[in-house]
Amino acid sequence: MTTLNESVMQALSTVIEPELHRDIVSLDMVRNLKVADGIAEFTIVLTTPACPLKDVFVERCNAALIGKVEGINKLRINWDAQVPTDRRMHGRLDVPISSIIAIASGKGGVGKSTVATNLAVSLADAGASVGLMDADILNPNIPQMFGLGSGRPKVVNKKMQPLEVFGVKLISTGFLTTPDKPMIMRGPMLHSAIRQFFTDVDWGKLDYMIVDLPPGTGDAPLSLAQSFPLTGSIIVTQPQSVAVSDAIRAAAMFEQLKVPVLGVIENMAGDYFGSGGGEQFAAGRDFPFLGRIPLAADIREGGDFGRPVVRHSRDSESGKAFNQLAETVAARISVVVLQAADVIPINVVG
């Protein structure tokens, strides 16, 4: 005879996760079910704290249970999140990081560091543990983006301790030198510096490591892709064709290196630079289009004064655009990681 708990789980197995297109029971998202006094209480474990779909889950779970399972007249849903770990990390990186995401561009000046900064802060605000590595070794911008004009990482047990601002752990060569001193390095030195930022920094456990790369297809992205198991890359471009043409080359580099392109972000969209170029590029190469960020003064001011727009102007058009971007990126990462682990069909597009 079927118990009430079993009936509830059977009903919940008809609830489909919108991004992964599988039911929440087979995905092991339903935990700690308790049934008493007509109330079904359970926890839904999301694949990212940045998931925007809680209302969808509530609606679908109510539709599956209320009036469908006799003896259940109310739901009490608790929430948790467990970011899936990219299985390519196992055995290749002695740091507990679930996903490594490279933020790249074909040319400079497209706002790649601004995107990396606001993406990292938005994910941290959602409850994720986030690290941001400034891999633009020669021209580091991340310290200024976070309002850190000076400061040196402490060393504990022979490991550098990343600085932490807005809930994001940070490392950059900008913390290791003075602003007016040029960083002059050849390729092997760049390679060594990027490796040390992984191996000699005490990151702790991270859900997401965001890596802000220098523009182009040079030593830094090659060193990163060849040395560490990247979950994927995100290509940032402006809308105009000259930026898109360089972005195409950056994407082609990652494809050649067998690094998944998670999608394209069109930055600085608006009257001045136009709009649509990044979206057309994504469609032409069958990449997901992750979002469009407007050309806005509050974004520029945030970068200049170390006040990321997602933290200081969260409800502005710019803040909302970046927060929506973070949700989209987090969902895309979950899809790619679970596809790689054969948890969901390879033809699912998040």
List the chain domain ranges. 4-81, 87-340
Q: What is the spatial distance between Cα 232 and Cα 255, in angstroms, rounded to a whole number?
A: 10
- Does the pLDDT at position 295 exceed 50? yes
β 159-160/289-294 pair status: unpaired
Superfamily of chain region 87-340: P-loop containing nucleotide triphosphate hydrolases (3.40.50.300)
CA–CA distance from 91 to each of 100, 109, 192, 197, 251 (Å)? Answer: 15, 36, 20, 18, 27
Average pLDDT over residues 217-221: 77
- Does the pLDDT at position 347 exceed 60? no
pLDDT the model gives residue 29? 95
- Does the pLDDT at position 183 exceed 80? no
Residue 12, SS3 per DSSP: helix
- Does the pLDDT at position 40 exceed 90? yes
- Does the pLDDT at position 160 exceed 80? yes
- Does the pLDDT at position 182 exceed 60? no
Contact (Cβ atoms closer than 8 angstroms) between residue 41 and residue 66: no
Q: Band of the pLDDT at 350, cuts 50, 70, 90?
A: very low
- Does the pLDDT at position 345 exceed 70? no
Q: Indicate the fold that domain 4-81 takes in CATH.
A: GMP Synthetase; Chain A, domain 3 (3.30.300)
Average pLDDT over residues 277-303: 94
| pLDDT digits 0-9 by tens, 301-313 | 999 899 999 999 9
- Does the pLDDT at position 61 exceed 60? yes
Residue 271 or residue 115, greater confidence: 115
- Does the pLDDT at position 72 exceed 90? yes
What mean pLDDT, rounded, does the chain reach?
A: 89
Contact (Cβ atoms closer than 8 angstroms) between residue 317 and residue 325: no
pLDDT the model gives residue 225? 82
User: pLDDT exceeding 90 applies to what percent of the chain?
Assistant: 67
- Does the pLDDT at position 187 exceed 60? no
Average pLDDT over residues 134-161: 87
Q: What would the two tokens of residue 188 be?
A: 């092997």
User: pLDDT exceeding 70 applies to what percent of the chain?
Assistant: 91
Nearest to 349 by CA among 259, 261, 247, 233: 261
Q: Band of the pLDDT at 349, cuts 50, 70, 90?
A: very low
Q: Band of the pLDDT at 41, cuts 50, 70, 90?
A: very high
- Does the pLDDT at position 212 exceed 70? yes
- Count of CB atoms within 10 A of residue 297's CB? 8
For 225-247, letters b (16+ CB in 10 Å) and e give beebbbbbbbbbbbbbeebbebb
Question: Does the reported pTM lie above 0.75?
Answer: yes
Cβ-in-10-Å burial (0-12, 13-18, 19+) of 326 comes to buried
| pLDDT digits 0-9 by tens, 229-282 | 899 999 999 998 888 999 999 999 999 999 999 999 999 998 878 889 999 999
Q: Band of the pLDDT at 179, cuts 50, 70, 90?
A: low
- Does the pLDDT at position 223 exceed 70? yes
